[in-house]
Amino acid sequence: MVKKATRISRFVAVVEDRPTYIALDVHKKTNSVVLFDPEDGIVDTYTCPPAEEALIKQLSRLGCRIAHVV
């Protein structure tokens, strides 16, 4: 998990004010999350529990400008 946190931290540092797009594949038992940057493509993917509150908390901690969630 530390590896992903570091990769996401580096991503956020690079994109700064560029819009970031989040894609969600929502299922009963899990959510698949994709971080996408228009210039760099897919930056990271991960799976998390389906709890909406936990997902919102994770996305708000990214510290980047989220343009769309689809």
* pLDDT 10s digits, 17-68: 778 889 999 999 998 988 888 887 877 888 888 888 888 888 888 777 888 9
Instruction: Count CA atoms closer than 13 A to 60's CA, side-chain side.
Output: 6
- Is the pTM for the entire model greater than 0.75? no
Domain count, the chain: 1
The alpha carbon of residue 9 and the mean position of all alpha carbons in its chain are separated, in whole angstroms, by: 11
Provide the domain limits for residue 9: 2-69
User: Which tokens in the block code for residue 39?
Assistant: 């210039």
